[in-house]
Structure 1
Amino acid sequence: MTDQDSCSHDCGSCGSACPSNQGPKSFLKPANKHSKIKKVIGVISGKGGVGKSLVTSLLAVAMQERGRQAAILDADITGPSIPHIFGVEKNAEVLHQEIIPALTDNKIKVISINLLLADHTDPVVWRGPMIGGAVEQFWTDVCWGDVDYMFVDMPPGTGDVAQTVFQSLPLDGIIVVTSPQDLVGMIVEKAVKMAEMVHIPVLGLVENMAYFTCPSCGEKHAIFGESQVKALSEAYNIPLIAQIPINPALAQACDQGKITDIEGDWLAELVAGLEKI
């Protein structure tokens, strides 16, 4: 039902003050009053296990290395991994009813539910509305300060939290992470269509585990099948594409909390494109 449908009078006679002429209601939440965040980028995937948190971390590291203040809002409440990837063990601080984000070794600002728990291994057994509320509080109650690029690491799929982020945060765009399998390609299409429904641009596609380079001969092998990312890019007119190889060093760096030690130009084109938005 529209506002006009609920009116009991002639809406055309009351001009711009009529509720029916005010346009759609915005659900965007205001950021913390001590925060100035220039760009907000969501990182999503259609399913789990494709490397969404890895891509989020690599993008933040790349921006920080370019002299931009990066931040990560870990919206994957039930499966938070960002603190572990960066080796952040000290909890976030609460000062004057505001949450102060933790800092990585290279000064990226991070907030995650794991940084607010007494024990990082404690499970978060919450229903959808509580999880969505926690994500909103990470935006409204965390004193982020000055941030050039905030990356929102979203849980996989198109459920409650994805909808909360799309509606509550002023996203400048999203990046979709996928892998080469046929099933994943189909699920990615669902995520892309959801973004289109809420009028948020898809800025790029990142295909993780795209290939393996033989250390002996240097030849690339498509371990999980031939890439579909170019076909998806053409189908949905998404210009920026990146591919990350299967690399044991990446997995080891995530396990050891040393993602900042990784060197690679896989996301260079994507990062350069983000600087232009």
Structure 2
Amino acid sequence: MPDDRKPARTPAEPPAPSPTHAPPIRTLIVDDEPLARRGLVLRLAAHPDIEIVGECGDGASAIAQVHRLQPELMFLDVQMPGADGFTTLGQIPANEMPMVVFVTAYDHYAIQAFEASAVDYLLKPVDEQRLAQSLERVRQNRESRAALGHCSQLLGLLGELSGRAPLELDEALQPDALEQLQSDDRLSVRDSGRVVRVPLHSIRWIDAAGDYMCIHTDDDTLVLRATMRELERQLDPRRFPRIHRSTIVNARRVTETRPHNNGESYLRLDCGQELKLSRSYRDRLPLLQ
């Protein structure tokens, strides 16, 4: 008899997870010829990771659009009335500068294009294969810029902690980098958009007053909007131990101690000021160890 049983069905394998894609590359096209812009738009449509966010036909408009749209990539015509491509680039702030691919009808601009740190240059009429090669350079450059950007942010942060210029990579990689920052001879505090740098030797003590920190120095008392944690992060705890929930002292300015109630003490500084040493912070002051 014929076997009417249906063959066992093999369980379907779960679909492979779709790869995560980087966000599209926001692109601005700058060319004074509308037909040239249209041709480039059509060719770029074959590349789904390219998102055209704007078009313009002169250098002044390009500068304004870069500021407004913040594109990652700009196809920039070299020959335009008024400001040409190179002049246009010179007027874009460095922190807004996108990746640039020059588009030109003359190959003698190539060297000048690369001297302007362009990712690539294209000759008109734009060839699709050459465009694909250029976009691959853009993608590689994007990855490099992202990695470099993260690194620069970290180095800038380390530099801010010391009040110095952003550190170089080899300087930040030194094993004692953090110790070097803490041993800097000045305390740097951001306050309302400014950076105040206070010589460490002049500091007598620091205490909190609500949302503000009072830095008492030989010459003045600075009242800055900061936190105890921000200041502690910069200061060497051996030189500037915390002696109370709201007080840091310059240990070198302590001249004597006297006991108080419940294991607390009072510290006298060389200026005559007395500060309370809390029992819970007693072990932080080397003088009393």
TM-score normalised by L of structure 1: 0.30
Q: Greater CA radius of gyration, 1 or 2?
A: 2
Specify which structure has the bigger relative contact order, considering alpha-carbon pairs within 8 angstroms and separated by 6 or more residues.
Answer: 1
